[in-house]
Each structure stands twice: as C-alpha cells, then as structure tokens.
Amino acid sequence: MRSLFFWAFSVVLTGLLLVAGCGTPRQTVTVAERPPASEDTVSMTVDTAANAVPIPQGYDTVQVGRFDRGKLWPFDQVPADYFESAYGVTPDSQWLSKAQRAALRFGDGCSASFVSGRGLIMTNHHCARDAIEKVSRRTESLMENGFLADSLGQERRVPDLHVDQLVKIEDVTRRVKRGMIPSGDTRGGTEQQRIGALEDVLTEEAKKRNEALRVEVASLYNGAKYSAYTYRRYDDVRLVMAPELQAGYFGGEADNFTYPRYSFDVAFLRAYTDDGTPLQPSQYFSWDLEGAEVGEPVFAVGNPGSTSRLKMVSQLEYERDYHLPNRLEVFETRQSLFQSYIANNPETAAEYGLRNTFFSIGNTIKSLKGQLRGLQDPYLMARRGKAIRSLVDSMTKIDSLQQYTRAVGEIERLQQSKRILASKQKAFFTFANLQIGSRILTRAVHGYYHDFLRTRGAQPDRIQDIRDDAEQIENWPEDLEASVLAAQIKELRTAFGADHPTIQRLLRDGSPDSLATRLVEKSALMDSTSFLKLLDEGYLKSNDPSVPVIEALAPLFLNTNRQMEDIRSTENNMNGRLSKARRVLYGEAVPPDASFTLRISDGVVKGYPYNGSTAPPFTNFYGMYDRYYSHAGDDWSLPDRWISSPDSFDLGTPLNLVSTNDISGGNSGSPLLNADLEVVGVVFDSNMEALPNEYLYRSHSARAISVDVRGIVEALRDLYGADRLVDEITGTSASEQVSSATVRE
C-alpha cells in the first residue's frame, strides 16, 4: 500500500502548485453517555434514549443489529459493561494494559504479539514472507525449505523490519481543531497539515523520554475525533522459525478466504535490544495449551486496516458501481501479466521474489470480489439504509442537530461528480504503486516530486523522506516492466482518449508497447542504483527518456487527483458532521472505522451453516492430509517432512478454528486470546462470508480463521524438532524463564 507517499504527492504537490500559480436483531445501538462538549461536538442536554428512532418508516422489514458498525474497539473505548455482561470478563486497567502492551504492529501491514519473556514474536507466515526472502542467502531457498534457528546465535536479523508497541493513547481532537502547533510553523493551513505538525511536536516530546518512541495522530469518525498513538519501535527483529511455503500457504490461492481450512500460517521472530540481547518485554501472552472450546469467548487484538461502516448508502452505491469494478479490472490485468511472466520465467521470478507480489494481487482480487458481492446484496444495502434513516430521523427531533441532516443529500450529490472522474481515476490506480506499478513510472513520480521540492526550498528532511522512499523501489525484470508499463499507458489512453493532446504528445506515432519497449531499453530508471544517482544530480534536468513522459503525465495526474481530493475533502467533512451527530446520539457505543490502529474484538468460537451442512468450529491434520491425497497440484502439496511424519504426530490435533471476531485487513497475525489473555490461536484469514463485513458487521456465517495453538505446538515438536522453541512458548524450560524483577523493556 502506497498511502503516505501517494497522499503526499497528490495533495502536498497539488497544494504547492496552487500556491505558486448486544440485544435482539431489532435493537439499534445502545446509547452510552455522550462525550464532554467541545468545539467539535454539539453542546446540549438531550435525552438520547428517548430521541433515537428504532424503526424508521419504510424499513419495517429490515432489522438493524446492535453491532452493525462492528466490534473493533479502540483501547480507550472498550465497552466494559458489555464485556462483563456478555462474557463475564472484567476489562480492568491491568487486563487492558496487558492486552495492549503484549500486542504489536508488524511492519507496515500486519499484526503480531509477544509470546515469551525473551521477546519472541508470533505472526503469520504470509506476513513474514518478505522477511524470509530478505534473510535467505544465495545458496538457500528459505521460502521453499523453511527456517529454524537452533540457537540465539542462528537467529537472523531482518533488514528494514520493525515492530511497534502501543504505549499510550491521547485524545487530541481539540489540538487538531484549534491548530495548537508551534508559532511560526507554516503547515497549519489544513487539518491534514496540522496533524502532521502535531505529530512532529508530540514525537519530539516523546523522544526526550525515549528515543524509540514516535507518535501518530489518527483520524477517527471521519475527523470527529483525533487520537495520538504513541508507539515504542523495535527495529532489531530476527527470524526464528518459518515453515515451508507449502505448509504456511497450504491450499494456496484456491483455499484463500475459504473454510474449512488447513493452513500452518505461522512464523516466529524475536525482538532484540540495542545491545544485541533478547528483549525482555514487560507484558507477553502465555499459551493455553488446551486450546479453546466451542462457545468460549475469544478476543483478537490487532491492527485492522480499514472498514467503511459509517458511509452513506450513496457512497456505497458508488463503490459498487464504479470504484470496486474498476479496481478489479486493473488488478486482474496485473495478475494476468505476473502469472504469464512467472510461468515462463520461474527461476528469474524466484530471484526477484515475484511470487509474493502475485500472491498479494490474488488476495486483493478475492477481497475486492467479496466486498462487491456484499454491496450487491439488497438486504445489506437496505440494512445500511435503515440505520441512516434512523440517524436522520433522530437528528430531526433535536433542534441543534437538524443542521446536520442536510449532509446526507450533499454526500449523495457528490457521488455524481465522482462518477464523472471514475474512468480517469482508474487509469492512475497503479501510479506510483511500489507493489504493482511500473518501475519506471514509479521512480519518475518520485524524481518529479523530489526535484520539485528541492527547487522550491522545502525542508531537507522532507526531501530526504522522498529519497528514502525512492530507495525502497525494487528492480524487476525488463520483460515484466515492459508489459506492466504498456498496460499502464493503455489504461491512460482508454481513460482520456487517443485524441487527447497529452496522449498524442506521449505516443506520437507509436503505440503503448513501442513506448514501453523504448523506455525499458534506454531509461536509467530501470536500475535502482542508476536512478538514485540521477536523483541526486537532478532528475528533471537529465536527458533520460522518462523525463518528457512524466512531464506529460504529471499534470494529468495532478488535475485528476486534485479534483477527486476536493470532492473527498467535502465528502469527508460531511461525513464528519454526521459522525458528530452520531456521537451525540450514541456516545462511544459505536466504534470508529478501522484505521490500522490497535483494536480489540470480541467473539466466540463457533461453526456456521455451510452448503446445507455445518462448517465445523475446528479442523485437524486429518483434513489436511485428506486434501493432500485427494487433490493434485501445487496448492495442496506438502513438504517432505510432513509427508513422512513420525508416528508420534497426532493427526487428530486441531489445526485451524473459526470464531465470530470482527477483523479486517491488517489483523493478520493477531493473537486470538481467551478470557485470561492466553493465546489459543493466531488469526490469519477470514472466510468469504466475512468480506462484506467491510461495510456491515454480521456474524451469522462470517468468521475469522486462526491457526490453533494445539496444532502449532504439535507440528513444531513432532515435525520440526523445534524443542527449544516449544520449551520457550510453553514455559517448560527454566533457562527460558524471565523473572518479573529482571524486566529490561
């Protein structure tokens, strides 16, 4: 995901250019005490319970659930009374502190947790794939063969990998709204710029206490609330154990987002201190080796990426009819290109690690299709419509909230403007995308932005950030680049038309394929080293053939993105106004949409109706071997050690399990915990039925899928001979025990 740079390029550069020139299904959300009044909330005294309208007229056949907006609870909004009444769990400060401090954010897209007193980290194999590739030496193939360190000295440090531990949450809504930043700071013009300035101020203050601390300000409820998250970062992270790809991704693309499932999707790493010794965390999760039982409450603690549960129906209709289909088409095109290249060049593909990208593309496509199916469900849309109607009817009964009802109509009108831009926006979906974007165009965008900032006297750290970002753009083969670049140019031609002056200027008398071939053959941007040298010397002043290309395309991109950003800014403002009213009516009983910040989600272990039968709550190794012997092909192949398993290996051991926990992308690697905060599994996927939960949480058949701790321990001990690791996670080795008196975190 290229969110930070992409936003910076599209918004900051555009700005510079402009300056320069739980109850029954019929229940609505239970009303909680509303937050204290401030300038960003409506100040009033109101009987919210009496004014909330439970069943709007015209929607009598649709039932709105109490948790339609989900159960992704921020740690400063955990519903203690609900946890107590539903599960008999009292989330006191000690319980919450442990859940928060033992959980981790893994890299830039996954979750993880400390699972021993010596800094052992558990996450998913698919989250650690990049790490596995990076520590694999020239004569090795750790992705295929797996990795196990027999001692601390054999654990391998992963370059450019970090884990973040959340240590503090602070409400900074007033500071963002009032622009409380240092005098003289010129970034206070927009709310987003004030956020960046505030992050810098808070991070500087935090670093005075501990150099490893950093602060991120998250927008919640469409800007109705802002929270500052202080993280402690650990950047000496070493690989301890990873299974073979055949085990970690058993079932492959075919089984992705499905259940019953039989995957050993787990990996272990370790955090080290600055002096090179294993970290001794103040909190970590011990293991319940007996696992969970059917109906037992379980809690997933992780960092869900995004959800869209507070949007209006008109916005969801735009997603359904334009945004999702357009993204699907682009990703399917890229999938075809990667699949063809990998099939024809397996050795080169392995050398460049292209399979990981191919897996990610396939994962994205399945996810998009699942979301699209959800929005094509009339009942889901009607249920969302009823909730919105309830909100509007409730606002009309309160004088000071009536002003916000107009936002619904304004948002609906904005969708027409988005539809007009949809085809042009589609052409830029992969623009500057490090994962699937053209290497040449992605580097050209970075070069364009880098030179623009440098020539206009931007702060050195901002220029350096762009250069650091550019260094992350990895090379890939010429033939693949030619096909991806040609596809990008064809999408631009389709969006703007062959007669558009910029397209004519770009192609002249040639074709997208001939232009792509010429750039691949002659541009220095095909190589990272050559590009960085060009960047330092002044990219736009060079004679590289990519310069006129980006100078032609950048205005198109900026103009399209500026228009869309203007619409989204207004749209977000309208959504924020509705969220302010929602918070007055419902308090914090409605959790904010996911934002890749730490959340705790409650649920129970439970099977579900499936193809006229019932999907079991647990699967075991018998099922894995049944699929191995009954299916042909790489998706269901197994490593040799699994095929020739010892007699001691118990095939009846639970391997995967399902639960009703609310999760989203980014939750991969989240520990699944029992009421005592003991590990009973590690979340690695959801089923297809859960993908529409992006827009509305439902638990009838939507499930989170985890690797069961019993299966993890059984395989580690009997298949991998990982006695050192098993002793550490089970706490049976005295040498691995760490007294609370020796905590060094």
What pLDDT score does 22 carry? 35
pLDDT tops 50 at residue 340: yes
- Residue 143 belongs to what H/E stretch? helix 142-145
**Dihedral of the alpha carbons of 353, 354, 360, 365, in degrees to the nearest 10:** -170
Q: Which two tokens stand for residue 566?
A: 């203007």
Q: Which two tokens stand for residue 410?
A: 């304004």
First to last CA, the chain: 31
Structural contact between residues 546 and 485, judged by C-beta atoms closer than 8 angstroms = no
Average pLDDT of span 369-373? 95
Among 441, 416, 417, CA closest to 427: 441
Q: How confident is the model at residue 10 (pLDDT cuts 50, 70, 90)?
A: very low
Q: How confident is the model at residue 303 (pLDDT cuts 50, 70, 90)?
A: very high
Instruction: Give residue for tokens 């649709």.
Output: 62
Angle separating helix axes 324-344 and 478-496, nearest 10 degrees: 160
Q: How confident is the model at residue 65 (pLDDT cuts 50, 70, 90)?
A: confident
> Distance between CA 327 and CA 364 in Å, rounded?
10
What pLDDT score does 181 carry? 53
Three-state secondary structure string covering 245-300: HHHHCCCHHHHCCCCCCCCCCCEEEEEECCCCCECCCCCCCCECCCCCCCCCEEEE
Average pLDDT of span 298-313? 96
Supply the DSSP symbol for 696. S
* Statement to judge: residues 553 and 673 lie in one domain: no
Average pLDDT of span 521-542? 94
> Distance between CA 122 and CA 128 in Å, rounded?
10
> Distance between CA 660 and CA 686 in Å, rounded?
10
Average pLDDT of span 316-334? 97
* Statement to judge: residues 423 and 485 lie in one domain: yes
Which residues span the domain enclosing 474? 3-19+311-582
Structurally, how many domains does the chain consist of? Answer: 2
Cis peptide upstream of residue 260 (ω within 30 degrees of 0): yes
> Distance between CA 361 and CA 355 in Å, rounded?
10
* Statement to judge: residues 720 and 702 lie in one domain: yes
Backbone angles phi, psi at 472, to 5 degrees: -80, -10
> Distance between CA 36 and CA 86 in Å, rounded?
27
What pLDDT score does 191 carry? 79
Q: How confident is the model at residue 61 (pLDDT cuts 50, 70, 90)?
A: low
> Distance between CA 257 and CA 278 in Å, rounded?
36
Q: Who has greater pLDDT, 628 or 745?
A: 628
Q: Is residue 207 part of a domain?
A: no
Q: Is residue 528 part of a domain?
A: yes
* Statement to judge: residues 288 and 420 lie in one domain: no
Question: Could you tell me the pTM of the whole model?
Answer: 0.85
Angle separating helix axes 439-455 and 13-20, nearest 10 degrees: 40
Structural contact between residues 307 and 664, judged by C-beta atoms closer than 8 angstroms = yes
pLDDT in tens, 212-224: 999 999 999 999 9
> Distance between CA 409 and CA 414 in Å, rounded?
9
> Distance between CA 126 and CA 249 in Å, rounded?
7
Maximal CA-CA distance, the chain: 76
For residue 442, how far is the Cα from the chain centroid? 21
pLDDT in tens, 439-484: 999 999 999 999 988 888 888 888 898 899 899 899 999 999 999 9
Among 688, 711, 605, CA closest to 255: 688
Q: Is residue 203 part of a domain?
A: no
Q: Is residue 199 part of a domain?
A: no
Q: How confident is the model at residue 506 (pLDDT cuts 50, 70, 90)?
A: very high
> Distance between CA 470 and CA 472 in Å, rounded?
5
Q: How confident is the model at residue 112 (pLDDT cuts 50, 70, 90)?
A: very high
What pLDDT score does 64 carry? 80
pLDDT tops 60 at residue 684: yes
pLDDT in tens, 555-596: 999 899 999 999 999 999 999 999 999 999 988 889 999 999
Q: Among 14-28, 102-116, 169-183, where is mean pLDDT lowest?
A: 14-28
Helix (H, G, I), strand (E, B) or coil at 113: strand
pLDDT in tens, 153-175: 999 999 999 999 999 999 999 99
Structural contact between residues 53 and 26, judged by C-beta atoms closer than 8 angstroms = no
Boundary of a domain, candidates 520, 547, 582: 582
Boundary of a domain, candidates 518, 553, 582: 582
Q: Is residue 189 part of a domain?
A: no
> Distance between CA 112 and CA 155 in Å, rounded?
18
R_g of the chain computed on alpha carbons: 26
Angle separating helix axes 528-537 and 460-471, nearest 10 degrees: 160
Structural contact between residues 363 and 255, judged by C-beta atoms closer than 8 angstroms = no
What is each CA distance from 722 to 133, 145, 151, 640, in whole angstroms? 21, 15, 10, 16
Q: Who has greater pLDDT, 734 or 394?
A: 394
User: 524 Cβ partners below 8 Å, 6+ apart?
Assistant: 530, 531, 533, 534, 542, 544
* Statement to judge: residues 329 and 295 lie in one domain: no
Backbone angles phi, psi at 658, to 5 degrees: -120, 150
Residue by residue, DSSP assigns 710-735 as HHHHHHHHHTS--HHHHHHHHT--GG
Strand-strand pairing, 654-659 and 618-620:
antiparallel
Backbone angles phi, psi at 168, to 5 degrees: -160, 145
**Mean pLDDT across the chain:** 88
Q: Is residue 45 part of a domain?
A: no
Among 565, 644, 170, 575, CA closest to 408: 575
Q: Which two tokens stand for residue 189?
A: 């013009």
> Distance between CA 397 and CA 158 in Å, rounded?
58
Average pLDDT of span 403-427? 95
Q: Could you tell me which residues are beta bridge partners of residue 247?
A: none
> Distance between CA 239 and CA 203 in Å, rounded?
29
Q: Is residue 571 part of a domain?
A: yes
* Statement to judge: residues 280 and 373 lie in one domain: no
* Statement to judge: residues 239 and 342 lie in one domain: no
What pLDDT score does 305 carry? 95
* Statement to judge: residues 327 and 476 lie in one domain: yes
> Distance between CA 393 and CA 254 in Å, rounded?
46
What pLDDT score does 532 carry? 94
pLDDT tops 70 at residue 179: no
Q: CATH no. for residue 673?
A: 2.40.10.120
Amino acid at 94: Q
Backbone angles phi, psi at 624, to 5 degrees: -60, -45
* Statement to judge: residues 298 and 413 lie in one domain: no
What pLDDT score does 182 carry? 52
* Statement to judge: residues 717 and 612 lie in one domain: yes
> Distance between CA 49 and CA 54 in Å, rounded?
10
Q: Who has greater pLDDT, 743 or 208?
A: 208
* Statement to judge: residues 358 and 488 lie in one domain: yes
Backbone angles phi, psi at 219, to 5 degrees: -85, 125
pLDDT in tens, 589-638: 899 999 999 999 999 999 999 988 999 999 999 999 999 999 977 899 99
What pLDDT score does 30 carry? 26
Q: Which two tokens stand for residue 618?
A: 């647990």
Supply the DSSP symbol for 213. E
Q: What is the percent of the chain with per-residue pLDDT over 70, rounded to a whole number?
A: 88
What pLDDT score does 180 carry? 57
> Distance between CA 480 and CA 341 in Å, rounded?
7
Q: Which two tokens stand for residue 568?
A: 């989204």
Boundary of a domain, candidates 561, 582, 603: 582
Amino acid at 93: S
Q: How confident is the model at residue 54 (pLDDT cuts 50, 70, 90)?
A: very low
Q: How confident is the model at residue 331 (pLDDT cuts 50, 70, 90)?
A: very high
Q: How confident is the model at residue 719 (pLDDT cuts 50, 70, 90)?
A: very high
Q: Is residue 28 part of a domain?
A: no
* Statement to judge: residues 295 and 332 lie in one domain: no
What pLDDT score does 286 carry? 97
Q: Which two tokens stand for residue 421?
A: 């831009």
- Residue 104 belongs to what H/E stretch? strand 103-106
User: 126 Cβ partners below 8 Å, 6+ apart?
Assistant: 248, 249, 265, 359, 668, 684
Q: Report which listed range, 572-576, 686-690, 730-734, 736-740, is most confident.
A: 686-690
pLDDT tops 60 at residue 7: no
Q: How confident is the model at residue 739 (pLDDT cuts 50, 70, 90)?
A: very low
Supply the DSSP symbol for 675. T
Q: How confident is the model at residue 677 (pLDDT cuts 50, 70, 90)?
A: very high
